[in-house]
Amino acid sequence: MATDNTLVETSNGPIQGFDDGRAKSWKGVRYAAPPIGDLRWRAPEPPEKWTTVADATRYGWVCPQPVDPRIPIDLGAPQGEDCLTLNVWASSDTAAGDRKPVMVWVHGGAYILGSASQPLYDGRALTSAGEAIVVTVNYRIGALGFLDLSEFDTPRRRFDSNLGLRDVLAALRWVQDNIAAFGGDPGRVTLFGESAGAGIITTLLTSPAAEGLFSAAIAQSSPATSVYDVSRAHGITRLVLDRLGMTASDVDRLPDLGVDVIVAAATEVFYDVPVRNPGTLAFAPIVDGDIVPDYPVKLAREGRSHPVPLIIGTNKHEAALFKWMKSPLMPITPEAINAMFTEIAAEQPTLELPTEDKIGTAYAGLRGKARGMGVARDVGFRMPSVWLAEGHSAVAPVYLYRFDFSTPMLRLLRIAAAHATELPFVWGNLVTGPKDPTFKLGGLKTGALVSERIRTRWLNFATHAEPTGMRGEPEWLPYSEPDRACLLIDKQDTVASDIDTHIRATWGTQVLNFR
Q: Please give the Cα distance from 118 to 59 (Å, whole number).
A: 10
Contact predicate 458/426, CB 8 Å: yes
Q: CA 124, CA 130: separation in Å to the nearest integer?
A: 10
Task: Please tell me which residue in 115, 150, 195, 226 is annotated as part of the active site.
Answer: 195
The DSSP H or E segment spanning 315 is strand 310-315
Contact 108, 422 (CB under 8 A): no
Q: Residue 506 in 3-state DSSP?
A: helix
Question: Whole-angstrom Cα distance, residue 17 to residue 29?
Answer: 10
CB 162 within 8 A of CB 291: yes
Contact indicator for 219, 198 with CB cutoff of 8 Å: yes
Rounded distance, CA 298 to CA 305, Å? Answer: 10
Q: Categorise residue 205: left if φ over 0, alpha if ψ from -120 to 50, beta otherwise.
A: alpha
Rounded to whole angstroms, how far apart are CA atoms 213 and 260? 34
The CB density around residue 410, as the number of other CB atoms within 10 Å, is 24
Reference 352, options 208, 509, 140; nearest CA is 509
For the chain, the 3-state helix, strand and coil shares in percent, each to the nearest 5, are: 35, 15, 50
Provide the β-strand partners of residue 218.
192, 311
The answer to whether 87 touches 59, Cβ cutoff 8 Å, is yes
- Listed in sequence order, the residues at least 6 apart from 350 whose beta carbon sits closer than 8 Å to its beta carbon are none
Tell me, rounded to whole angstroms, the distance of Cα 170 from its chain centroid.
Answer: 16
Helix axes 163-178, 196-204, angle to 10 degrees: 70
Please tell me which residue in 81, 194, 318, 390 is annotated as part of the active site.
318
Of 107, 306, 392, 419, catalytic = 419
Strand ranges (E), 385-474: 398-403
Rounded Cα distance between 374 and 371, Å, is 5
Is 318 a catalytic site residue?
yes
CA 319/CA 327 separation, integer angstroms: 10
419 a catalytic residue: yes
- Give the Cα separation of 429 and 119 in Å (integer): 8
Query: CA-CA distance, 180 to 175, in Å (whole number)?
Result: 8
- How far from 330 is each of 223, 333, 337, 369, CA to CA, in Å? 11, 9, 9, 11
Cα–Cα distance for residue pair 37/172, rounded to 1 Å: 24
Q: In what order do the strands lie in the sheet with 310-315?
A: 18-19, 23-30, 85-91, 133-137, 100-106, 184-194, 216-220, 310-315, 398-403, 485-489, 494-497
Query: Which residues are annotated as catalytic?
Result: 195, 318, 419
